Amino acid sequence: DSGVTQTPKHLITATGQRVTLRCSPRSGDLSVYWYQQSLDQGLQFLIQYYNGEERAKGNILERFSAQQFPDLHSELNLSSLELGDSALYFCASSVGQAIANEKLFFGSGTQLSVL
């Protein structure tokens, strides 16, 4: 158990809908990272937050947004969903803000299926 909690584990929805994925980091970790993993794209970095502030952005679509709350949990909002958004979404956490020797701890992911 990594200590990172993601909910829900599975989500099935329809095209055009909006969903929210939730992540609770390990106790004491200030950074949260979101990754998307689809079969053909591997593990794609979406966005990182540190202590409530956005720190780094990857190839995150404009239809996607995220935030980190004062209690350090984070939510990833996906809107106007398309079939191609079906993927595993992972959250990870770390103590600091992407320091070179920092370890990431990953949750078990949310499997999103868009029908």
Partner 1 sequence: DAKTTQPNSMESNEEEPVHLPCNHSTISGTDYIHWYRQLPSQGPEYVIHGLTSNVNNRMASLAIAEDRKSSTLILHRATLRDAAVYYCILGRTGDKIIFGKGTRLHILP
54 interacts with partner 1 by CB under 8 A:
no
Nearer residue to partner 1 within complex by CB, 14 or 99: 99
Residues 90-109 close enough to bind partner 1 by CB under 8 A: 90, 92, 97-109
- For residues 27 to 46, the per-residue mask of contacts with partner 1, x marking binding by CB under 8 A and - elsewhere, is ------x-x------xx-x-
73 interacts with partner 1 by CB under 8 A:
no
Angle at 53 between CA 49 and CA 5, to 5 degrees: 35
Which residues touch 48 (CB under 8 Å, ≥6 apart)? 31, 32, 33, 34, 54, 55, 56, 57, 97, 98
Residue in this structure with the two tokens 């004062």, named with its chain if needed: 70
Alpha-helix runs per DSSP H in the chain:
none
**Residues at the interface with partner 1 (CB under 8 A):** 2, 4, 33, 35, 42-43, 45, 48, 56, 58, 90, 92, 97-109
